[in-house]
Structure 1
Amino acid sequence: MSPAYLKRLLGENEQILLTTHQHWIVLVEQILVEIILAAVTILLVTIFLITGGGNPGIALGYLLLIIPLVSLVRDVLKWWNHQYIVTNLRVIQITGILNKNVTDSSLEKVNDVKMVQSVIGRFLDFGDLEVLTASEMGINRFTRIANPIRFKTTMLNAKIRLEDQTREATAEASIYSIPQLIEQLGELRQKGLITEEEFIEKKAALLAKLS
């Protein structure tokens, strides 16, 4: 996939943390038939060419290789353009060679991540991930993804950092609003809506949050 296309998907201050694909075993399964067909075509045409006394017309049979080779190239491009991406803000899944299908989930809405690995998956390092979200989509399924443990930990660590940044921003905003709240309390005291004792008590409570 073109890096320029992926870059256009990113928002302001959004950074890519991890990019991966489905495991290579998925690609092997998809192109195995094409490889077998190509090998059988080469073998049969070569045999006919030898037994046919070197007839040049038989060599045209090699043109049949175009069919499995075109299919093989398509499968490779399809696999390469199926990407799973973790950024500091969301999880993105991109499919399609020319027509792109982009699905993303905000890290803020990710509730949990379920991972399933078979014995072979643990040995070859692939597995299935289910990202449970609070969005309308509910569940995002990533099938036979490469490096599933690294993908999961990268995503969860990014979610934790994002939550910490949100809490810090909220706390900072509340600190900046304390002087305004004290000023409003002073106005309420002047209007006689609260007593002097209530003003002092509430002011002390607000100032304590600054310490």
Structure 2
Amino acid sequence: MSYIQRVLQPSEQVRHISSIHWIVYWPGAGVALLAGVAFWLSRSEFMPNLWRYAGYALALVAAVLLIQQWLHSWVTEIAVTNRRVIYKKGLIQRETNEMNMDKVESVQIDQSILGRMLDYGNVTILGTGEGFETLRTIGKPIELRNSITGNDA
């Protein structure tokens, strides 16, 4: 059972569930591609041992990056209910942030050109007297904003 399902109050309904965008895997995938090139170059006669060890090192870095981003995506939950916005991250050291819907003043979206093309961006929820942590690299940020503001268009 997810954290969101455990903290729902009676008659509270989930409107929207959001997640981290898959673009966060690109750095790890890029390093993995470089590892593949290094392994390919190790078959040449020009310093094969150097390229092989570089390939091992790059493969290790790629694995660390990919596992780190997978864990981050796995332990992050974002939901909008009819009463509040809920954001949870962390597995052992859990950090949660919630804001009642009647306290939400505005929702800001920051998207780069690539973010517009691939439909991801950063979402900041501003409330009365307080701000919400910026949600980074969120998939479909416009849908998240619309579910918070009540605009289903």
TM bucket (normalised to shorter chain) is 0.7 to 0.9
Report if the CA contact (8 A) 1:128-1:148 is conserved.
yes
Instruction: Give deviations 1:163-199, integer Å, cap 9, x for gaps.
Output: xxxxxxxxxxxxxxxxxxxxxxxxxxxxxxxxxxxxx
The DSSP-based 3-state class of the residue aligned with 1:86 is strand
Higher gyration radius (CA)? 1
Q: Specify the alignment match of 1:21 in structure 2.
A: 19
Report deviation, 1:14.
1.8
Q: Which amino acid aligns with 2:19?
A: H
TM-score after normalising by structure 1:
0.55
Q: Specify the alignment match of 1:147 in structure 2.
A: 140
Structure 1 or 2: larger helix share?
Answer: 1
Taking a change above 3 Å as real, the CA distance of residues 4 and 44 of structure 1, as seen in their structure-2 partners, is same
Q: Specify the alignment match of 1:188 in structure 2.
A: none
Q: Could you say which structure has the greater relative contact order, defined with CA pairs below 8 angstroms and 6 or more residues apart?
A: 2
Instruction: Give deviations 1:22-77, integer Å, cap 9, x for gaps.
Output: 22212323x246524643664477679xx79xxxxx9xx97995664354223212
Distance 1:141 1:116 in 2: 10
Name stretches of at least 5 consecutive residues in structure 2 with no aligned partner.
none
Report percent identity of matched pairs.
29
Report if the CA contact (8 A) 1:112-1:132 is conserved.
yes
Distance 1:89 1:98 in 2: 27
Q: Which amino acid aligns with 1:21?
A: S
The DSSP-based 3-state class of the residue aligned with 1:140 is coil
Q: Specify the alignment match of 1:165 in structure 2.
A: none
Report if the CA contact (8 A) 1:38-1:69 is conserved.
no
Taking a change above 3 Å as real, the CA distance of residues 24 and 104 of structure 1, as seen in their structure-2 partners, is same
Instruction: Give deviations 1:127-166, integer Å, cap 9, x for gaps.
Output: 222211015x3343222321111111111118xxxxxxxx
Taking a change above 3 Å as real, the CA distance of residues 72 and 45 of structure 1, as seen in their structure-2 partners, is farther
Farther-moved stretch of structure 1 (75-84 vs 145-154): 75-84
Report deviation, 1:114.
1.9
Structure 1 or 2: larger strand share?
Answer: 2
Q: Specify the alignment match of 1:186 in structure 2.
A: none
Taking a change above 3 Å as real, the CA distance of residues 5 and 46 of structure 1, as seen in their structure-2 partners, is farther
TM-score after normalising by structure 2:
0.73
Distance 2:63 2:18 in 1: 25
The DSSP-based 3-state class of the residue aligned with 2:69 is helix
Report if the CA contact (8 A) 2:29-2:62 is conserved.
no
Report if the CA contact (8 A) 2:32-2:58 is conserved.
no
Q: Specify the alignment match of 2:88 in structure 1.
A: 94
User: Out of 26, 32, 41, which is 1:35 matched to?
Assistant: 32
> Alpha carbon RMSD of aligned pairs, Å?
3.2
Q: Specify the alignment match of 2:114 in structure 1.
A: 120
Distance 1:120 1:63 in 2: 30
Q: Specify the alignment match of 2:149 in structure 1.
A: 156
For residues 176-187 of structure 1, the aligned pairs below 5 Å read none
